[in-house]
Chains A and B, each alone.
Chain A
Amino acid sequence: MKIHEYQAKELMAREGIPIPAERLCFTPDEVRKAAFELGFPIVVKAQVHAGGRGKAGGVKLARNGKEAKSAGGQILGMTIKDLIVKKVLVTKAMNIIKEFYVGLTIDRNKQQVVLMVSPEGGVEIEEAAKIHPDLIHKFYIDPDIGLREFQAREAAFKLFEDIDLVRKTTRILVNLYHCFINRDASLAEINPLVLTKENDLVVLDGKMNFDDNALFRQKEIEDLREASKDEIKEIEAKNRGLTYIRLNGNIGCMVNGAGLAMATMDLIKLYGGEPANFLDIGGSSNPQKVVDAMQLLIEDKNVKVVMINIFGGITRCDDVALGLIEALEQIEVKLPVIVRLSGTNSHEGLEILKHANIVTVETMAEAAQKAISLI
């Protein structure tokens, strides 16, 4: 789960990490008012769940009230990577001497939390890693002891020689680790961390992502969720036991199991078609899931044909067949439906479908080819 910059910085501030004076605004007039409160110059930043805000024109500097209002007007309502900007963060501009990168994430290879620091801040860390991998310093954290001061200090010395700045950085890193661990984050990043003329270290931009699996014990974080239109549909699906992700194609897919669902999309693409979605109906044999899944598929107006691919393990094919018949009785489906059932009770399932005049095929390859031919 993602949150906005202002929310990430607030969580960091609560752990004692210094953030600049800033205000969240929803209208150009609020931006102007906030600018006068903070004192010029100010920076106006779009708050959307997308990277590359600067490049997209979502970050602007303002030196007076007129500029502040106009920056607010330009950014509020603009679209960045398909997301409409509904709020902006107004921050007092700082006298920056140098920008640094510090971040914590999970290294899936080492299966550990990793602290990364770099004297090259302000650019995306993935970009920096390509250009200057030698300038990114990694420190793997022993889960039994967590990030101790000695290790944070070792990292801080990669950024500064001055002991006063090393001490300040050490505090920030240890606090960032607390922020990460206590909130079940998957990413906590300060980029850039800036050194100001006044010799202070401040979070100019902060970012945090969270482990969806841990939200059950992170109520406060879950309450920060702001879902986009597509995400709302995904969450609704989740509540019905379905995993749904919308794509841009026209072949609606209904599959049991995530791996098989991905392989089904791949196969459609391999034969020259375009999948409209990823949809995993999960492992149980509840016919209602099939009804809900069919509803989801036909709500997407791009879908021209529905392809159902079930491999019955624990899921019983006859239950899926019954669910499908129920779905077709409850909802009007004008689209062609191709069904492939294999595995547990597939004969019974296929018999049920035969009586209802539903087209069935033997293999998933045939199903994909047939679906494409009907577009």
Chain B
Amino acid sequence: MSILIDRNTRLIVQGITGRDGNFHAQRMKEFGTKVVGGVSPGKKGQAVGDIPVFNTVKEAIAKTDANASIIFVPASGAVDAIYEAAEAGIKLIITITEGIPTLDMIKVKPFLEKKGAHLIGPNCPGLISPEEILIGIMPAKIFLKGNVGLISRSGTLTYEVVNQLTLHGIGQSTCIGIGGDPVAGLYYCDLLEMFENDPETEAIVMIGEIGGEREEKAAEYIPGHITKPIVAFIAGQSAPPDKRMGHAGAIISSGSGTAKEKINALKKAGVKVAGKPSDIPIMIENCLKKG
């Protein structure tokens, strides 16, 4: 078991003939993901490796029975790609693309809701259930199959934490990068609920950062909803105000969205907050022992 995806998920890659789409489509396939097709308008009939390319998502679904899509389309066309996937009936859309205008994301969200589609990202590394399926750009070999679920706003910081978990012999059920943008798809509360209901997951790691109040919202949600132990880490304690720290959403504006507020809120909700990334494995170990 895992959340959102499993080895039966049938994936198409939108933007498969671009540099990143091409590279990662083949990497995912090598990992064992069922990459059943790609979409690139005007490139129908071509193939990337042995993955067939189609002109439209509708066509790709008709020929391959795909039920998930990953988007590598550049920012100016990425929102259209999200609409296309949802309109065609895809229920899980993962958007890797960075740099999508915020107002476009605000418009697309109600449409996804209407279509009953889940979005992960944008500006995210995707998700992985070790030994089962990889949908994204994560370096698969640092992951280990196990029972810790992970939700993160960051890419490499996730790899850092996962690597340390793995070195400690602590495996993962599903790891999800939710992305660094201010307006995004699935977020902490949605995913915490899924992990709570996933019998394979026994503990959860939450990696947050400065900007917005989603960690605080999660802290409000956790008591009464989540019984599994959670260990969190918040990046950006030393970040100056009003500066975008790489991610579009990582900004302390008008004094709100600070690491301190998030850490306090999470602690109040009974979440164990790690002082540094390397503390996470031991804290998880202790949680699992107690459980």
Please report the total number of B residues contacting A with Cβ < 8 Å: 63
Contact A259-B101, Cβ < 8 Å, known A108-B214, A216-B76, A342-B163 = no
A109 adjacent to B250 (CB under 8 Å) = no
Kindly specify which of A67-75, A267-275, A292-300 makes contact with the partner chain. Answer: A267-275
| Contact B210–A262 (Cβ < 8 Å) | yes
Set B100, B157, B183, B243: member contacting A111, Cβ < 8 A: B183
Complex: A300 Cα to B213 Cα, angstroms: 34
Interface segment out of the listed A197-205, A306-314, A327-335: A306-314
B106 lies within 8 A of A112 (CB): yes
Interface assignment of B227: CB less than 8 Å from any CB of chain A: no
Residue interface mask A266-295, B partner, CB < 8 A = 1: 111110000100101001000000000000
Q: Are B156 and A262 in contact (CB under 8 A)?
A: no
B89 part of interface (Cβ distance < 8 Å): no
Which of B35-43, B46-54, B61-69, B275-283 is found at the contact surface with chain A? Answer: B275-283
Interface status of B209 (Cβ within 8 A of chain A):
yes
Judge whether A356 is part of the interface by a CB distance below 8 angstroms. Answer: no
Q: Are A257 and B154 in contact (CB-based, < 8 A)?
A: yes
Tell me which residues across on chain A come within 8 A of B156, comparing CB atoms: 255-257, 259-260, 311, 313
Q: Separation in Å of the B22 CB from the closest CB of chain A? A: 14
Please indicate the chain A residues that have their CB under 8 angstroms from the CB of B245 in the complex. Answer: 245, 258, 261-262, 278
Taking A263-B160, A270-B275, A270-B276 as contacts, is the C-beta distance between A126 and B255 under 8 angstroms?
yes
Stretch at the interface among A19-27, A165-173, A207-215: A207-215
Q: A214-B101, A344-B139 are in contact. Are A106 and B183 (CB under 8 A)?
A: yes
Q: How far is the CB of A6 from chain B (nearest CB, A)?
A: 21
**Chain B window 210-232, contacts with chain A (Cβ cutoff 8 Å), 1 for yes, 0 for no:** 11111001000000000000000
> Which secondary structure dominates where chain A touches chain B?
mixed
Contact A247 B240 (CB under 8 A): yes
**Residues of A contacting B88 in the complex (Cβ-Cβ under 8 angstroms):** none
Q: How far is the CA of A143 from the CA of B108 in the complex (A)?
A: 9
- Across the interface, name the chain A residue whose C-beta is closest to B249: A108
**Interface assignment of B34: CB less than 8 Å from any CB of chain A:** no
Specify which chain A residues have a CB less than 8 angstroms from the CB of B155 in the assembled complex: 257-259, 283, 313
With A and B bound together, what is the CA distance between A247 and B213 in angstroms?
24
CA distance A211 to B102 in the complex (A): 7
Min CB–CB distance A316 → chain B (angstroms): 10
Residue B152 at the A interface, CB < 8 A?
Answer: yes
**B160 touching A262, Cβ below 8 Å:** no
B159: Cβ under 8 A from any A Cβ: yes
Question: Pick the contact of A312 from B125, B139, B250 — CB < 8 Å?
Answer: B139
The answer to whether B246 has its CB under 8 Å from any CB of chain A is yes
Task: For A256, list chain B residues within 8 Å (CB).
Answer: 156
Question: Residue B8 at the A interface, CB < 8 A?
Answer: no
Q: Contact at A144–B110, with CB atoms within 8 Å?
A: yes
In the bound assembly, the distance between CA atoms of A268 and B103 in angstroms comes to 36
User: Chain A residues near B246 (CB, 8 Å)?
Assistant: 243, 257-259, 261-262, 278, 280
How far, in angstroms, from A214 to B182 measured CA to CA in the complex? 13
Give Cα A109 to B99, complex, Å. 20
29 A-B contact pairs sorted by A residue (CB < 8 Å) = A106-B106, A108-B182, A111-B106, A112-B106, A113-B103, A113-B106, A184-B101, A211-B101, A212-B248, A257-B155, A257-B156, A258-B245, A259-B153, A259-B155, A259-B180, A259-B247, A260-B160, A262-B157, A262-B209, A262-B235, A262-B250, A269-B237, A270-B276, A280-B246, A311-B160, A311-B163, A314-B137, A314-B139, A364-B160
Instruction: Using CB atoms and an 8 Å cutoff, list the residues of chain B in contact with chain A.
Output: 75-76, 99-107, 109-110, 125, 137-139, 141-142, 152-160, 163, 180, 182-183, 207, 209-214, 217, 233, 235-240, 243-250, 254-256, 259, 275-278
* 6 nearest A-B residue pairs (beta carbon): A259-B154, A258-B246, A257-B156, A259-B157, A214-B101, A313-B139
